[in-house]
């Protein structure tokens, strides 16, 4: 296989990967379980309530623009936009960083 053809196939893999990632990103807000994750759930069951309440009200170190994968007041659509935006952001950063780091 020529280098050009192989590179072309890898671009196809990129497009297929992006399509799958975006499909998951769009579906995630509707399909994801609202239950707490393993760490939060463990905290809820083994940390005393008063201590946990104190930990939960303490503000995060940095305020996030789209905390909890949501946009304030925008409901499910806001969540879809947030996860899709994050997916594209990760894609862009990885691509640019990968291109910058790769062997010359």
Quote the CA–CA distance of 29 and 6 in Å, as a whole number: 36
Choosing from 2, 49, 50, 64, the residue that interacts with another protein (CB under 8 A) is 64
73 binds another protein (CB under 8 A): no
Site string for another protein, 24-63 (x = CB under 8 A): xx-xxx-xxxxxxxxx-xxx-xxx-------xx-x-xxxx
Terminal C-alpha separation, the chain:
22
Quote the CA–CA distance of 4 and 26 in Å, as a whole number: 33
11 binds another protein (CB under 8 A): yes
Residue 66 CB burial class (10 angstroms; 0-12, 13-18, ≥19): middle
Choosing from 5, 13, 49, 73, the residue that interacts with another protein (CB under 8 A) is 13
Q: What's the farthest any 2 CA atoms get from each other in the chain?
A: 65
Which residues are near another protein by CB under 8 A? 6-7, 9-11, 13-14, 16-18, 20-22, 24-25, 27-29, 31-39, 41-43, 45-47, 55-56, 58, 60-69, 82-83, 85-91, 93-95, 97-99, 101-103
């Amino acid at each position: 296989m020529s280098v050009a053809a192989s590179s072309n196939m890898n671009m196809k893999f990129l497009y297929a990967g992006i399509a799958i990632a975006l499909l998951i990103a769009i579906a995630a807000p509707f399909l994801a379980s609202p239950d707490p994750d393993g760490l939060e759930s463990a905290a809820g069951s083994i940390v005393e309530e008063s201590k946990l309440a104190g930990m939960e009200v303490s503000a995060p170190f940095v305020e996030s623009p789209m905390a909890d994968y949501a946009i304030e007041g925008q409901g499910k659509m806001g969540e879809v936009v947030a996860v899709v935006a994050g997916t594209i952001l990760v894609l862009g950063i990885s691509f640019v960083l990968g291109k910058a780091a790769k062997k010359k």
